[in-house]
Structure 1
């Protein structure tokens, strides 16, 4: 039978659920719990830590400081953006502007063009040069390099998680964000190590700093990859279906971290998902794409 308890009782209760449901009631957070194992308890403790901690987002490394952007200019502006293959139109005359500090949710069914729109922003789509696209102060097609664009973007996707198969520690995964690499292949600075430790503390994972990344749950791996994307405090953080494949508890962990990043005000979040019902309280803007017939 499920138990109901307050977060104040967390230290004496060792149970929780694969499909934990929570609601904020007067006096604290309440959870219904059904599963009884140590890993489940650790996940619940981690969620409560993320939701209640007074820790703020770690500062960026001054040595990795990005070029300043003009605050009067939008981060992204698409004008009548169209992606078409032969007679098949994937994205049809899309107008979309992302202002600095304006968090967005992008949703739509498979085949609606979400990935194509993201690749226009990141510069990975060949048709970005045939469209009217303004990103991070650059009008696409005017001689800018793709790396001039990508330096302003933090990116997390399930594809990145599948690719991150090197044998390395949790701490090194975060440090690799300073180098935009999979793994760490150069000597990291003491300040970078300190920032990585601060992110681990924020995530409630400081005791697992040296644990192999590939031994973690999918949810914890996703949290670390988000921290990796955030170490340089990019102006735009793109989270491409960050909850895909996660159970409810790990989904809540990821959403709690995203809410904290949104509340930090320094990074603009573009949260991409399949379903419109996933809501993050700090995200007020929504673009829903439909599959062209």
Structure 2
């Protein structure tokens, strides 16, 4: 079975501080993983390595069959959809963009739309918006949306390029209960209908939906466990992680 992500003996050290230590982890085809851990556990560092924005101090990494050190990272990133509150730093660019243009921009992996757009791209964006229940937002600018609506628009943007891997990095952070449930419902639908592997990052146990096949427990830069959701959630190991419920 093909590996979607493979990390072998990966460690990350910055200024004599061990951020990740001896990470051995694989995501195989048809698997959908939750990375569960507190802030500072190493979740963001793993994502930075997966997306090629940070190189490990030691170890081997391959993503979607591309071995790091022997691949074109910008081209690889076009196969990875990424949704994170960290994208808020681009608000100055996004704020005046229409919802449909933000979704379309995902095809070009840009923040802002700078390319000529074909009619089929606009049709694809409209179909995506309908499937994400945001088609009623067409024509609205990003700065007029609620936080939940913004998050769904960014999910649409991430899906526009038909990624093989979709990373949802704490997608419910800052949302109220109803908006959070809406995002979780959409995640279920994406797993059911989109042909991509989902990597969902959170520190909330209750966000481990039944469609997720595996959970990776992280603590202080090390893997505590990597197994089925039922095993991880009910394991005595999780009692020492002080996770939110």
TM-score (norm 1): 0.71
Report deviation, 1:81.
1.0
Report deviation, 1:161.
3.2
1:136 is aligned to 2:51: no
Report deviation, 1:127.
2.4
Structure 1 distance, partners of 2:179, 2:38, is 22
Structure 2 distance, partners of 1:148, 1:182, is 16
Q: Do the aligned partners of 1:161 and 1:225 also contact (CA within 8 Å) in 2?
A: no
Q: Do the aligned partners of 1:83 and 1:90 also contact (CA within 8 Å) in 2?
A: yes
1:146 is aligned to 2:80: no
Give the match for residue 87 of structure 2: 160
Structure 2 distance, partners of 1:212, 1:154, is 22
Give the match for residue 110 of structure 2: 181
Give the match for residue 288 of structure 1: 217
Structure 1 distance, partners of 2:3, 2:158, is 21
Q: Do the aligned partners of 1:158 and 1:240 also contact (CA within 8 Å) in 2?
A: yes
Q: Do the aligned partners of 2:6 and 2:26 also contact (CA within 8 Å) in 1?
A: yes
For the aligned residue pairs, the C-alpha RMSD in angstroms reads: 1.7
Q: Do the aligned partners of 2:8 and 2:23 also contact (CA within 8 Å) in 1?
A: yes
Structure 2 distance, partners of 1:114, 1:292, is 8
Larger Rg: 1
Which has the higher mean CA deviation after the structures are superposed, 238-247 or 159-168? 159-168
CA 1:78–1:239 in structure 2 vs 1: closer, same or farther (change >3 Å)? same
Structure 2 distance, partners of 1:286, 1:234, is 21
- Mark the runs of 5 or more structure 1 residues left unpaired by the alignment: 1-71
Structure 2 distance, partners of 1:173, 1:86, is 38
Give the match for residue 106 of structure 1: 35
Q: Do the aligned partners of 2:10 and 2:60 also contact (CA within 8 Å) in 1?
A: yes
1:254 is aligned to 2:183: yes
CA displacement 1:135-157 (0-9 Å, x = unmatched): 22222123x22113212210011
Q: Secondary structure at the match of 1:200?
A: helix
Aligned length: 220
Q: Secondary structure at the match of 1:125?
A: coil
Structure 1 distance, partners of 2:131, 2:194, is 17
- Structure 1 residue ranges (4+ consecutive) displaced by more than 4 angstroms after TM superposition: none
Q: Do the aligned partners of 2:78 and 2:161 also contact (CA within 8 Å) in 1?
A: no
Structure 2 distance, partners of 1:86, 1:183, is 35
Structure 1 distance, partners of 2:43, 2:76, is 19
* Pick aligned residue for 1:278 from 185, 191, 207: 207
Report deviation, 1:86.
4.2
Q: Secondary structure at the match of 2:155?
A: helix
Q: Secondary structure at the match of 1:165?
A: helix
- Mark the runs of 5 or more structure 2 residues left unpaired by the alignment: 223-245
Report deviation, 1:265.
5.4
1:90 is aligned to 2:19: yes
CA 1:207–1:264 in structure 2 vs 1: closer, same or farther (change >3 Å)? closer
